[in-house]
Structure 1
Amino acid sequence: MTNRPTSLGSLPLPPDEQPSIPALSVWPTGQRDPAAQLRDSGCVLGTDADTDRIPPAVAAYAIATYTRPGDLVLDPDCGAGTVLTEALHADRHALGLTTRNRWWTLARANVTAAKTAGYWRDGSVLDARPKVLVTIRAAGLVGRVGLVLTALRTASRNPGDRTPSPDRDPDSAIAELVATLSYCEPLLRPGGRFAVVARPLRDPRGSLIDLTTQLLSAATAAGLAPVDRCLALTAGLRGSRLVTRASLAERRAAASAHPIGVPTALTAHHEVLIFRRAYDAELATVVTGIPRLSENGTAQFAVACSGGRRAA
């Protein structure tokens, strides 16, 4: 395998080849508040510090929809590890990567907590960048990943700072994410999927940023084909109305925006975009003979990548 370029997300599509937006579906994943979701999943204290985390209910819904028991779920930028926890709970194998010490510690603790609770599928957390997935050390995973599930991470790269830093530029975050998906591409099994979860972002004027179009364009330019577009609710359904679960800071920002003529609604969902490889049908005939994932397949890969030091 060879290294993929990291600038795929910036390649523009011709005007007559803009990707079509798939039909919208809604996931009822906001019936429990974030704290209750983390508690029900057995996540360790501090997991909520990862503001870009995929909510456990959203991760669980995606895993149940796009994988089957025994599949391998990969999060190449796993943060505090909510995806890994939900994969283990759903009888899937789980592999996560991160280079940030705080997230590695939390993700490893969450994987350990899930195993302690009796979820014994293989789960590993590597101290590694996504680029390791296109090296020889990942050769044993080619064609074995059922779902790549990850978040568009726009929060500050310094989660331990006392003074919060501004969110990262969405364009650079999208370009980095698409490059990461390209590193994961050789590992996907026939019929496997890429799932990207993006929390709503606002520009300095308070308007919502259109992340969907940017993600679709960048991913299509990188050779991925959109399959589904979903709204994963973070608000609870109460009959015919939504009960938002916005933070105090979000509520204050919305309240202060109204007097200056900028009406701001509280966000009630995360965007979830599902992709497949554009050439998946052809690739399926090539990888048919690859053996199924062994029970300790990801554990062996984890030891190879980390020298036995950083595998949960």
Structure 2
Amino acid sequence: MPDHLEAPLSVWLTGQRYPFVQSRAAGYVPGTETDTERIPPAVAAHAIATYTRPGDLVLDPDCGTGTVLTEALRAGRHALGLTTNNRWWSLARANVTAAKSAGAWRDGSVLDARPKVLATARAAGLTGRVGLVLTAMRTVSDRPNSPNHDPVELARTLRCCEPLLRTGGHVVVVARPHRHSDGSLADLTTQVIAAGTAAGLTPVDRCVALTAELRGGRLITRAALAERRAARATASPTSLVAHHEVLVFQFAHDAELAAAAVCGADAFNLLDEMAGRRCDLAA
């Protein structure tokens, strides 16, 4: 975590405005909303402000229509996104261009490529430079309207991103809640944690990014009409979803250092101990 920032709150007030109002105020191009699994602009902006500094590089390996890239540019960060969806690539490029035209930081790119390109020589110059990997957990590509996800594919994606992450950097995965056909919520948290762990990362935080407005002591849901109708159609009472799950990861040694700092331990002594353990194992 950047040393000039306080410990992040676990509940993010990111639903105070409707998503379409967020997009309109930020100058997103029409059609951005067709990516229904995009990270809402307010959620992306909050994650970027919390886990990066101005000038950092933000990577979204499955960027959709480019909300993460746009918010990174608007916040004075560099941005790189990947997608293989031709329509989303066009929209993401248009959003990046619009952000640049509005005076945002001018180093932003969208590649028509799969995440595995990050593990090739093309991305060699980015090794150790990414301050934040911020991406959404998406449904499987051949069933876009189903609540099925592929944690194995997410793990592959994160594994491709891992060499690019700088020391102290973070990986943040945002999961939009989905329901099974019986109305029960899918356990996406366990799937995301398993994917991050399989990619060699350590979970360090779990947050809630509100998609509902907090008004006084009440949550005012922003649920879409289709979700409201589905909730009314279930046999048992069903709550409307009011948040996205946010899972935060780091390298294991970065997580240890962060925990030591919170406890008041000497980070340099901890590094020496870790180096000694590595030497013992090598011996």
Same fold (TM over 0.5): yes
Say if 2:59 is the partner of 1:74. yes
Say if 2:115 is the partner of 1:145. no
Deviation string 1:52-97 (CA, Å, 9 cap, x unpaired) is 1000000000000000000000000000000000000000000000
How far off is 1:155 after superposition?
Answer: 6.3
**1:215 paired residue number:** 192
After TM superposition, the score normalised by the length of structure 1 is 0.77
Quote the Cα distance in structure 2 between the aligned partners of 1:43 and 1:218: 31
**1:203 paired residue number:** 180
Q: 1:119 aligned to 85, 88, 104, which one?
A: 104
Percent of pairs with identical residues: 71
Q: 1:166 aligned to 145, 149, 154, which one?
A: 145
1:1-312 superposed matches below 5 A: 25-154=10-139, 156-157=141-142, 166-167=145-146, 169-170=148-149, 172=150, 174-257=151-234, 260=235, 262-280=236-254
How far off is 1:217 after superposition?
Answer: 2.5
How far off is 1:279 after superposition?
Answer: 4.2
How far off is 1:263 after superposition?
Answer: 1.2
Kept in 1, the 8 Å contact 2:221–2:241? The answer is yes
Using the TM superposition, name which of 207-216 and 79-88 deviates more.
207-216
**1:13 paired residue number:** none
Q: Give 5+ residue unaligned stretches, structure 1.
A: 1-22, 159-164, 286-312
Letter in structure 1 aligned against 2:193:
L
Kept in 2, the 8 Å contact 1:52–1:155? The answer is no
SS at match of 2:10: strand
Quote the Cα distance in structure 2 between the aligned partners of 1:112 and 1:215: 32
CA, structure 1 residues 54+184, in 2 after alignment: closer, same or farther (shift >3 Å)?
same
After TM superposition, the score normalised by the length of structure 2 is 0.84
How far off is 1:280 after superposition?
Answer: 4.3
Deviation string 1:152-199 (CA, Å, 9 cap, x unpaired) is 0116558xxxxxx532622x2x21111101100010111000000000
Deviation string 1:186-239 (CA, Å, 9 cap, x unpaired) is 101110000000000111101011111222133223311011100000000110
Letter in structure 1 aligned against 2:188:
L
Quote the Cα distance in structure 2 between the aligned partners of 1:226 and 1:66: 14
Kept in 2, the 8 Å contact 1:233–1:268? The answer is yes
The Cα RMSD (Å) is 1.9
Q: Which has the bigger relative contact order, CA under 8 A and spacing at least 6?
A: 1
CA, structure 1 residues 134+65, in 2 after alignment: closer, same or farther (shift >3 Å)?
same
Q: Give 5+ residue unaligned stretches, structure 2.
A: 1-7, 257-267, 269-283
